[in-house]
Amino acid sequence: MQQPRHRIRRHRHPIALAGATALVIAVMATASSNLPAPSRASAGPSAAAEDSPLGACRITAAMGVQMSEGMPTAPGYARSTGRIKALNLMIDFSDAPGSGTAEERLAEFFPQTSQWFRTSSYGRLTYLPEAPVKGWLRMPLPFAEYGIERGSPYEPGYRDLVKDLVATADPKVDFSAYDLVNVLVTPNAGPSALDTVLSVTFSANEDAPYADGVPLANTSFVYSRQDDGSGSYVETGYRVLPHENGHVFGLPDLYTMEGGGSVGHWDIMSEDWGANNDFLGWHKWKLGWLDNEQIDCADRTGTSEHTLGPLATEGGTKLAFIPLSAETGYAVEVRTPDGNDAAVCRPGVLIYKVSSDVDTGQGPVSVADSTQDSGGCTRQPNVHAELSDAPFRPGETFTDRANGIRISVLGKGTDDNYRVRVTRP
């Protein structure tokens, strides 16, 4: 099937981390409602960059960037390790009465979303979905009256909707018991996702309405169905939710106004239609799913060699990072068709530039293509074709002449381990 024409999505993330008091409230709201599970994670929102031996590789967020790839992730987002409780509310409207049952709507996303996070996080994120209200929650106004369109800001439509949602659900829901909220809208409200994707997340939004003493600061809204007609919806349609929840954990959009040409199908924050895909290794480190010990920091002048195992399998060295500045660097990782990475058609060494001073949707990550203008190796629908064969194979070298960087793939060993040589000034 032809790819949908209008897949570029505008997610809005009104962060505006203005008041320290509000920040503390947001963080405490998360902390107080959960007992953090034991975790070996060394990155993630609360990690201290200063005492890390990988300091030069932990590029930090730049001032004025709303949603940054830098570490650590700003406060206010949901914790990304341990047991995370997700509140799911299925809503409908008088002008869009629930299509099917609310439990059927919930079942479009679970248990797949929980499994996706378990696989991607190597078991470090236990995602617990709950739906204390089994039926549709009817909003007091017709959908049309909220004025929600693609790219709508929080004010006024979403604030009105969240207020109404809280008023309707509060008798049956203890909002303080959850780390994040998924609002699963009846699929007949608003346009088809083939035409316009409305799904959106408002994260670290401490100005959101309160319920049970906590702000609804990390809330994802999912509309319509991402059904491209290729027959894969039942298997892959849930993937909009892990994408939206990625924002709740502080990750930016990697697609740009031009579409998925920066990162292709190598991260679900770039493409969440079509075949399953994973997060980049950078994101897994940022989320606390990779330990510092699993990162090789190539910050010294000269040549260094690194042995990297497949990102999809647990344990071992997963990522080499070559810092260029306080805000940029190259990440190197091995991608194979394992785990969540269903679409990998040319396994090998993926090389990409991370820029913590580039905002969400502006291209904070760009993948280097080992085979430019090849047309790619994938035949799957909704997988960015050109970058599908981007990984470097043994004998191939990536060169950044301006910065004097060379990254060569020396060979492939057992268990899909790859040896990589980095040369830097």
3-state secondary structure 78-129: CCCCEEEEEEEEEEEECCECCCCCHHHHHHCCCCHHHHHHHHHCCCCEEEEE
Q: How far is the CB of 215 from Zn ion (least distance, A)?
A: 21
Q: How far is the CB of 16 from Zn ion (least distance, A)?
A: 18
Task: Of 354, 370, 308, give the one whose Cα is nearest residue 335.
Answer: 308
CA distance 93 to 98: 7
Q: Report the side by side order of strands in the sheet with 397-400.
A: 302-308, 418-424, 405-412, 397-400
Q: Which residues in this chain contact Zn ion in the complex, by CB under 5 A?
A: 11, 253
Q: Which residue is at the shortest CB distance from Zn ion?
A: 11
Q: How far is the CB of 267 from Zn ion (least distance, A)?
A: 11
Nearer to Zn ion, 92 or 253 (CB): 253
Nearer to Zn ion, 11 or 79 (CB): 11
Nearer to Zn ion, 143 or 255 (CB): 255
Q: How far is the CB of 67 from Zn ion (least distance, A)?
A: 10
CA distance 282 to 39: 19
Residue ranges in 197-314 assigned as alpha helix (H): 233-236, 240-248, 281-286
CA distance 141 to 160: 10
Q: Encoding tokens for residue 214?
A: 């906590």
The position carrying tokens 């590789």 is 57
Nearer to Zn ion, 198 or 354 (CB): 198
Nearer to Zn ion, 173 or 193 (CB): 193
Q: Encoding tokens for residue 197?
A: 């994707």
Pair 330, 405: CB distance under 8 Å: yes
Nearer to Zn ion, 54 or 222 (CB): 222
- Measuring CA to CA, how many Å separate 56 from each of 42, 100, 139, 325? 15, 52, 50, 8
Nearer to Zn ion, 12 or 346 (CB): 12
Nearer to Zn ion, 259 or 394 (CB): 259
Helix (H) or strand (E) run with residue 25 in it: helix 20-32
Which residue type, as a one-letter code, is found at position 306? H
Q: How far is the CB of 13 from Zn ion (least distance, A)?
A: 8
Q: How far is the CB of 11 from Zn ion (least distance, A)?
A: 4
Pair 229, 218: CB distance under 8 Å: no
Sign, CA dihedral 129-132-134-140, equals: negative
Q: How far is the CB of 284 from Zn ion (least distance, A)?
A: 18
Cβ count within 10 A of residue 282: 24
Q: How far is the CB of 9 from Zn ion (least distance, A)?
A: 6
Nearer to Zn ion, 127 or 221 (CB): 221
Q: How far is the CB of 177 from Zn ion (least distance, A)?
A: 26
Nearer to Zn ion, 11 or 306 (CB): 11
Nearer to Zn ion, 11 or 335 (CB): 11
**Residue 378 gets which letter from DSSP?**
-
CA distance 202 to 26: 13
In terms of DSSP bridges, do strands 328-335 and 348-355 run parallel, antiparallel, or are they unpaired? antiparallel
Q: How far is the CB of 360 from Zn ion (least distance, A)?
A: 8
Q: How far is the CB of 120 from Zn ion (least distance, A)?
A: 16
181 strand-pairing partners:
87, 219
Q: Which residues contact residue 294 at a Cβ distance below 8 angstroms, ignoring those fewer than 6 apart? A: 285, 315, 316, 317, 318, 319
